[in-house]
A and B are shown apart, each in its own frame.
Chain A
């Protein structure tokens, strides 16, 4: 079991606002970090895989940064839209990288 923490647990923002949330993890023996987007009543979908300290990935209005030395990753959403409402999960490999350990997620609600 890994100590993967996501904060905040939930978040409500107005449409058009930008927002960000955090995934914290043990900085030792870092291998990779995955971000997933999970809409209600659907299945999780991969957003990013990040491996290098200082990595920055972007997909449309969503971007993520990685700091492996201090053990955190930020996910940013610029100009939130109602369709961004979802739970955002981060996950790190464990057991020799065969498996992922998932955080409990940040539940984002974008209010129109």
Chain B
């Protein structure tokens, strides 16, 4: 099992550009999450999904969009990149059982200049 994979590992964007951060998991998990990690701020939830076709906002969704057309994939879209979106982005997934831990991908480091 590859677990949770994310691409790209690192990207530099200009202000106003758009991009999609890819996330794939091969564990057949229904629950998937996108977090951003800012220094001293811990992990903040951007969006989450409880299954294919279902997504919902987390704590900091502004400036992002997601889709969940398959169980495996949960891409995160930035439409108009802003410097405030410079961060490290982590995707995670877990199984349906309520107490299951989340499995994290390796992260995508994004710099918006």
Q: Which A residues are within 8 Å of any B CB, using their own CB?
A: 1, 31-32, 34, 36, 42-46, 49, 51, 89, 93, 97-105
Contacts and interface: CB of A to CB of B under 8 A. Distances in A.
Interface of B: 31, 33, 35, 40-43, 45, 48, 50, 58-59, 90, 98-107
Contact of A105 (B31, B42, B107): B42
A99 B43 contact: no
A102 B42 contact: yes
B42 A103 contact: yes
A49 B99 CA distance: 7
A76 B58 CA distance: 31
Contacts of B42: 89, 102-105
Nearest to B102: A100
A1 B41 CA distance: 13
A1 B98 contact: no
A46 B95 CA distance: 14
A101 B102 CA distance: 12
B58 A49 contact: no
Given A43-B90, A89-B42, A97 B107 contact: no
B33 A99 contact: yes
Contacts of A42: 106
A45 B99 contact: no
A89 B45 contact: no
B21 to A, nearest CB: 14
A90 to B, nearest CB: 10
A101 B103 CA distance: 15
